[in-house]
Amino acid sequence: MSELKSGSNLEKVLKAGHFAFTGECGPPKGANVEHLKEKIEPLKGMVDAVNVTDNQTAVVRMSSWAASTIMCQEGVEPNFQMVCRDRNRLAIQADILGVYAMGIRNMLCLSGDHQRFGNHPESKNVYDIDSMQLIALVKKMRDEGKFLNGEEIDVPPRLFIGAAANPFADPFEFRVYRLAKKIDAGADFIQTQCIYNMDRFKEFIKQAVHMGLHEKCYILAGVTPMKSVGMALYMAKQVPGMDVPESLIKRLRGAGKGKAGEEGIRFALEQIEEFKEMEGVAGVHLMAIEWEHKVPEIAERAGVLPRPVV
Protein backbone atom coordinates (compact mmCIF):
# COMPACT_ATOMS: atom_id res chain seq x y z
CA MET A 1 0.00 0.00 0.00
CA SER A 2 2.74 2.47 -0.92
CA GLU A 3 1.20 4.54 -3.69
CA LEU A 4 -2.30 5.95 -3.35
CA LYS A 5 -4.90 3.94 -5.25
CA SER A 6 -7.43 6.70 -5.72
CA GLY A 7 -6.11 9.78 -3.98
CA SER A 8 -9.39 10.22 -2.14
CA ASN A 9 -9.49 12.08 1.17
CA LEU A 10 -10.69 8.96 2.98
CA GLU A 11 -7.82 6.94 1.59
CA LYS A 12 -5.28 9.58 2.56
CA VAL A 13 -6.64 9.89 6.10
CA LEU A 14 -6.56 6.12 6.64
CA LYS A 15 -3.15 5.71 5.03
CA ALA A 16 -1.69 8.39 7.29
CA GLY A 17 -2.83 6.34 10.25
CA HIS A 18 -5.56 8.66 11.52
CA PHE A 19 -8.74 7.31 13.10
CA ALA A 20 -11.25 7.80 10.28
CA PHE A 21 -14.74 9.18 10.81
CA THR A 22 -17.32 8.79 8.05
CA GLY A 23 -20.99 9.73 7.85
CA GLU A 24 -24.04 8.87 5.82
CA CYS A 25 -26.64 10.76 3.82
CA GLY A 26 -29.68 9.45 2.01
CA PRO A 27 -30.61 11.27 -1.21
CA PRO A 28 -34.06 12.88 -1.41
CA LYS A 29 -37.13 11.12 -2.71
CA GLY A 30 -37.22 13.49 -5.61
CA ALA A 31 -35.09 15.97 -7.48
CA ASN A 32 -35.04 18.27 -4.45
CA VAL A 33 -31.49 19.55 -4.67
CA GLU A 34 -32.10 22.19 -1.98
CA HIS A 35 -33.10 19.55 0.55
CA LEU A 36 -30.04 17.47 -0.32
CA LYS A 37 -27.78 20.48 0.19
CA GLU A 38 -29.45 21.13 3.56
CA LYS A 39 -28.64 17.57 4.62
CA ILE A 40 -25.03 17.87 3.46
CA GLU A 41 -24.44 21.21 5.22
CA PRO A 42 -24.06 19.94 8.82
CA LEU A 43 -21.58 17.31 7.66
CA LYS A 44 -19.05 19.76 6.22
CA GLY A 45 -15.74 19.43 8.03
CA MET A 46 -17.20 16.91 10.47
CA VAL A 47 -16.37 13.71 8.58
CA ASP A 48 -13.75 12.40 6.16
CA ALA A 49 -16.30 11.10 3.66
CA VAL A 50 -20.07 10.62 3.47
CA ASN A 51 -21.85 7.48 2.28
CA VAL A 52 -24.50 8.26 -0.33
CA THR A 53 -27.04 5.44 -0.36
CA ASP A 54 -28.36 3.81 -3.54
CA ASN A 55 -32.13 3.20 -3.52
CA GLN A 56 -31.73 2.01 0.04
CA THR A 57 -34.22 -0.64 1.19
CA ALA A 58 -35.34 -0.71 -2.44
CA VAL A 59 -37.12 2.63 -2.13
CA VAL A 60 -36.60 4.88 -5.16
CA ARG A 61 -34.61 8.04 -4.45
CA MET A 62 -32.36 10.31 -6.45
CA SER A 63 -29.59 8.09 -7.76
CA SER A 64 -26.45 7.82 -5.68
CA TRP A 65 -24.23 8.97 -8.53
CA ALA A 66 -26.18 12.21 -8.96
CA ALA A 67 -26.35 12.95 -5.24
CA SER A 68 -22.64 12.11 -4.92
CA THR A 69 -21.80 14.53 -7.71
CA ILE A 70 -23.78 17.31 -6.00
CA MET A 71 -22.00 16.47 -2.76
CA CYS A 72 -18.61 16.85 -4.51
CA GLN A 73 -19.72 20.24 -5.77
CA GLU A 74 -20.59 21.21 -2.20
CA GLY A 75 -17.04 20.40 -1.15
CA VAL A 76 -17.79 17.20 0.76
CA GLU A 77 -16.27 13.87 -0.27
CA PRO A 78 -18.87 11.19 -1.05
CA ASN A 79 -18.66 7.41 -0.63
CA PHE A 80 -20.64 6.50 -3.73
CA GLN A 81 -22.68 3.34 -3.09
CA MET A 82 -23.78 0.92 -5.74
CA VAL A 83 -26.13 -2.04 -5.26
CA CYS A 84 -26.23 -5.08 -7.52
CA ARG A 85 -29.98 -5.30 -7.38
CA ASP A 86 -30.80 -2.65 -9.99
CA ARG A 87 -28.11 -2.87 -12.67
CA ASN A 88 -26.51 -5.42 -14.96
CA ARG A 89 -22.77 -5.53 -15.63
CA LEU A 90 -23.04 -3.16 -18.57
CA ALA A 91 -24.75 -0.43 -16.59
CA ILE A 92 -22.45 -1.08 -13.63
CA GLN A 93 -19.27 -0.57 -15.62
CA ALA A 94 -20.74 2.42 -17.42
CA ASP A 95 -21.73 4.03 -14.12
CA ILE A 96 -18.29 3.37 -12.63
CA LEU A 97 -16.70 5.22 -15.53
CA GLY A 98 -19.29 7.96 -15.18
CA VAL A 99 -18.80 8.59 -11.49
CA TYR A 100 -15.04 8.63 -11.81
CA ALA A 101 -15.35 11.15 -14.63
CA MET A 102 -17.48 13.34 -12.33
CA GLY A 103 -14.79 13.39 -9.63
CA ILE A 104 -15.98 10.65 -7.30
CA ARG A 105 -13.19 8.59 -5.75
CA ASN A 106 -14.71 6.21 -3.19
CA MET A 107 -17.11 3.39 -4.03
CA LEU A 108 -18.98 1.03 -1.73
CA CYS A 109 -20.03 -2.28 -3.35
CA LEU A 110 -23.21 -3.82 -1.98
CA SER A 111 -25.71 -6.54 -2.89
CA GLY A 112 -28.72 -4.39 -2.03
CA ASP A 113 -31.89 -5.22 -0.13
CA HIS A 114 -34.33 -7.32 -2.12
CA GLN A 115 -36.93 -5.25 -3.93
CA ARG A 116 -39.67 -6.99 -1.93
CA PHE A 117 -38.91 -4.56 0.89
CA GLY A 118 -39.24 -1.50 -1.17
CA ASN A 119 -41.86 0.60 -2.81
CA HIS A 120 -41.74 -1.14 -6.19
CA PRO A 121 -42.00 -4.82 -5.20
CA GLU A 122 -43.22 -5.84 -8.67
CA SER A 123 -39.99 -4.88 -10.40
CA LYS A 124 -37.72 -7.35 -12.14
CA ASN A 125 -34.66 -8.55 -10.26
CA VAL A 126 -31.26 -7.90 -11.75
CA TYR A 127 -28.44 -9.29 -9.54
CA ASP A 128 -26.42 -10.01 -12.69
CA ILE A 129 -23.34 -10.04 -10.46
CA ASP A 130 -23.06 -10.13 -6.66
CA SER A 131 -21.21 -7.77 -4.31
CA MET A 132 -18.11 -9.98 -4.23
CA GLN A 133 -17.90 -9.98 -8.02
CA LEU A 134 -18.51 -6.21 -8.04
CA ILE A 135 -15.55 -5.65 -5.72
CA ALA A 136 -13.37 -7.78 -8.00
CA LEU A 137 -14.68 -5.91 -11.02
CA VAL A 138 -13.81 -2.45 -9.67
CA LYS A 139 -10.35 -3.73 -8.75
CA LYS A 140 -9.86 -5.16 -12.25
CA MET A 141 -10.92 -1.88 -13.83
CA ARG A 142 -8.60 0.09 -11.58
CA ASP A 143 -5.50 -2.10 -11.35
CA GLU A 144 -5.56 -3.87 -14.72
CA GLY A 145 -7.28 -1.12 -16.65
CA LYS A 146 -9.63 -3.70 -18.14
CA PHE A 147 -13.37 -4.25 -18.44
CA LEU A 148 -14.89 -7.49 -17.17
CA ASN A 149 -14.50 -8.97 -20.64
CA GLY A 150 -10.79 -8.16 -20.77
CA GLU A 151 -10.94 -5.18 -23.14
CA GLU A 152 -8.74 -2.16 -22.40
CA ILE A 153 -10.33 0.84 -20.73
CA ASP A 154 -9.67 4.27 -22.19
CA VAL A 155 -8.55 5.96 -18.92
CA PRO A 156 -9.30 3.51 -16.13
CA PRO A 157 -11.29 4.60 -13.05
CA ARG A 158 -9.15 4.68 -9.94
CA LEU A 159 -11.54 4.22 -7.07
CA PHE A 160 -11.00 3.41 -3.40
CA ILE A 161 -13.04 0.22 -2.99
CA GLY A 162 -15.32 -0.30 -0.03
CA ALA A 163 -17.56 -3.14 1.07
CA ALA A 164 -19.92 -3.91 3.90
CA ALA A 165 -19.63 -6.54 6.60
CA ASN A 166 -22.28 -7.69 8.99
CA PRO A 167 -20.67 -9.38 11.97
CA PHE A 168 -24.10 -10.22 13.39
CA ALA A 169 -25.79 -11.96 10.49
CA ASP A 170 -25.94 -15.71 10.25
CA PRO A 171 -24.12 -17.98 10.05
CA PHE A 172 -21.95 -16.21 12.62
CA GLU A 173 -18.93 -18.51 12.26
CA PHE A 174 -18.70 -17.76 8.57
CA ARG A 175 -18.81 -13.95 8.74
CA VAL A 176 -15.10 -13.38 9.27
CA TYR A 177 -14.32 -15.75 6.37
CA ARG A 178 -16.64 -13.80 4.13
CA LEU A 179 -14.85 -10.63 5.19
CA ALA A 180 -11.54 -12.27 4.25
CA LYS A 181 -13.00 -13.22 0.90
CA LYS A 182 -14.09 -9.64 0.20
CA ILE A 183 -10.63 -8.36 1.11
CA ASP A 184 -9.02 -10.92 -1.19
CA ALA A 185 -11.39 -9.86 -3.94
CA GLY A 186 -10.12 -6.31 -3.59
CA ALA A 187 -11.86 -4.40 -0.82
CA ASP A 188 -9.69 -1.54 0.46
CA PHE A 189 -11.98 -0.56 3.29
CA ILE A 190 -14.92 -2.13 5.11
CA GLN A 191 -17.81 -0.54 6.94
CA THR A 192 -19.72 -2.78 9.32
CA GLN A 193 -23.43 -2.83 10.00
CA CYS A 194 -24.29 -0.79 13.11
CA ILE A 195 -23.00 -2.39 16.28
CA TYR A 196 -24.76 -2.58 19.62
CA ASN A 197 -23.47 -5.86 20.98
CA MET A 198 -19.91 -4.87 21.80
CA ASP A 199 -18.91 -8.27 23.20
CA ARG A 200 -19.93 -10.09 20.07
CA PHE A 201 -18.20 -7.50 17.91
CA LYS A 202 -14.99 -7.84 19.92
CA GLU A 203 -15.07 -11.59 19.23
CA PHE A 204 -15.44 -10.87 15.53
CA ILE A 205 -12.66 -8.28 15.35
CA LYS A 206 -10.36 -10.57 17.34
CA GLN A 207 -10.79 -13.25 14.68
CA ALA A 208 -10.22 -10.68 11.94
CA VAL A 209 -7.02 -9.48 13.61
CA HIS A 210 -5.91 -13.08 14.09
CA MET A 211 -6.26 -13.59 10.35
CA GLY A 212 -4.30 -10.38 9.70
CA LEU A 213 -7.25 -8.85 7.85
CA HIS A 214 -6.76 -5.44 9.47
CA GLU A 215 -3.38 -5.19 7.82
CA LYS A 216 -4.78 -5.68 4.34
CA CYS A 217 -7.86 -3.55 4.70
CA TYR A 218 -9.18 -0.71 6.83
CA ILE A 219 -12.11 -1.78 9.01
CA LEU A 220 -14.53 0.93 10.14
CA ALA A 221 -17.01 0.10 12.90
CA GLY A 222 -20.61 1.11 12.31
CA VAL A 223 -22.34 3.23 14.95
CA THR A 224 -25.94 4.41 14.97
CA PRO A 225 -27.13 6.34 18.04
CA MET A 226 -30.48 5.13 19.35
CA LYS A 227 -32.94 8.01 19.34
CA SER A 228 -35.58 6.33 21.47
CA VAL A 229 -36.69 3.12 23.13
CA GLY A 230 -39.09 2.68 20.21
CA MET A 231 -36.22 2.77 17.76
CA ALA A 232 -34.27 0.22 19.82
CA LEU A 233 -37.23 -2.14 19.88
CA TYR A 234 -37.81 -1.71 16.16
CA MET A 235 -34.17 -2.43 15.35
CA ALA A 236 -34.18 -5.45 17.65
CA LYS A 237 -37.29 -7.02 16.16
CA GLN A 238 -37.82 -5.79 12.62
CA VAL A 239 -34.42 -5.35 11.07
CA PRO A 240 -32.75 -8.57 9.93
CA GLY A 241 -29.17 -9.15 10.99
CA MET A 242 -29.34 -6.66 13.88
CA ASP A 243 -28.22 -7.60 17.40
CA VAL A 244 -29.55 -5.24 20.07
CA PRO A 245 -28.77 -6.46 23.60
CA GLU A 246 -31.48 -6.34 26.24
CA SER A 247 -29.09 -4.37 28.45
CA LEU A 248 -29.11 -1.46 26.02
CA ILE A 249 -32.89 -1.37 25.83
CA LYS A 250 -33.02 -1.40 29.63
CA ARG A 251 -30.52 1.42 29.80
CA LEU A 252 -32.55 3.55 27.39
CA ARG A 253 -35.76 2.87 29.33
CA GLY A 254 -34.03 3.74 32.58
CA ALA A 255 -33.00 7.15 31.30
CA GLY A 256 -36.46 8.50 31.84
CA LYS A 257 -39.07 10.11 29.66
CA GLY A 258 -37.66 12.20 26.85
CA LYS A 259 -34.08 11.43 27.88
CA ALA A 260 -33.58 8.21 25.90
CA GLY A 261 -32.06 10.10 22.96
CA GLU A 262 -29.33 11.64 25.09
CA GLU A 263 -28.64 8.22 26.62
CA GLY A 264 -28.41 6.76 23.14
CA ILE A 265 -25.83 9.35 22.19
CA ARG A 266 -23.89 8.65 25.40
CA PHE A 267 -23.81 4.94 24.52
CA ALA A 268 -22.59 5.78 21.01
CA LEU A 269 -19.85 8.03 22.41
CA GLU A 270 -18.71 5.25 24.77
CA GLN A 271 -18.55 2.93 21.79
CA ILE A 272 -16.47 5.41 19.79
CA GLU A 273 -14.01 5.72 22.69
CA GLU A 274 -13.67 1.92 22.78
CA PHE A 275 -13.24 1.69 19.02
CA LYS A 276 -10.44 4.27 19.10
CA GLU A 277 -8.41 1.88 21.26
CA MET A 278 -9.54 -1.38 19.68
CA GLU A 279 -6.97 -3.28 17.66
CA GLY A 280 -8.16 -3.85 14.13
CA VAL A 281 -10.55 -0.90 14.00
CA ALA A 282 -9.32 1.91 11.76
CA GLY A 283 -12.23 4.26 12.25
CA VAL A 284 -15.94 4.71 12.82
CA HIS A 285 -18.79 4.96 10.34
CA LEU A 286 -21.55 7.04 11.90
CA MET A 287 -25.03 6.44 10.54
CA ALA A 288 -27.18 9.05 12.25
CA ILE A 289 -30.39 7.92 10.59
CA GLU A 290 -32.89 10.80 10.47
CA TRP A 291 -30.59 12.64 12.85
CA GLU A 292 -28.01 14.10 10.46
CA HIS A 293 -28.11 17.50 12.20
CA LYS A 294 -26.77 15.84 15.36
CA VAL A 295 -23.55 14.81 13.63
CA PRO A 296 -21.59 18.00 14.50
CA GLU A 297 -22.51 17.61 18.18
CA ILE A 298 -21.60 13.91 18.21
CA ALA A 299 -18.33 14.57 16.40
CA GLU A 300 -17.47 17.31 18.90
CA ARG A 301 -18.30 15.21 21.95
CA ALA A 302 -16.50 12.18 20.49
CA GLY A 303 -13.34 14.24 20.30
CA VAL A 304 -12.77 13.52 16.61
CA LEU A 305 -12.67 17.18 15.61
CA PRO A 306 -11.03 18.80 13.81
CA ARG A 307 -10.82 16.24 11.02
CA PRO A 308 -7.26 15.76 9.74
CA VAL A 309 -6.34 17.54 6.54
CA VAL A 310 -3.91 15.35 4.65
Cβ neighbours for 212, distance < 8 A, ≥ 6 positions apart: none
Residue type, 81: Q
Residue with smaller CB distance to other proteins, 96 or 165:
165
Q: Rounded to the nearest whole angstrom, what is the least distance from the CB of residue 276 to other proteins in the complex?
A: 25
CB of 238 to other proteins, least distance (A): 11
- In sequence order, the 6+-apart residues with CB closer than 8 A to the CB of 105 are 6, 7, 8, 9, 11, 77, 158, 159, 160
Question: Closest approach of Cβ 138 to other proteins, in Å?
Answer: 13
Q: What is the binding site for other proteins (CB under 8 A)?
A: 84-85, 89, 111-114, 116-117, 125, 127-133, 136-137, 148, 164-166, 169-171, 173-174, 177-178, 180-181, 184-185, 193, 240-241
Number of C-alpha atoms within 13 angstroms, CB side, residue 274? 17
In terms of CB distance, is 92 or 295 closer to other proteins? 92
The Cα 139–Cα 133 span in angstroms is 10
Give the residue with the Cβ less far from other proteins, 70 or 180.
180
Minimum CB–partner distance for residue 307 and other proteins (Å): 28
Using the minimum distance from each CB to other proteins, give the nearer residue, 106 or 193. 193
Q: Where are the beta strands (DSSP E) in 31-184?
A: 49-52, 78-83, 106-110, 160-165
Q: What is the DSSP letter of 278?
A: S
At closest approach, how far in Å is the CB of 301 from other proteins? 29
Looking at the Cβ atoms of 23 and 112, the one nearer to other proteins is 112
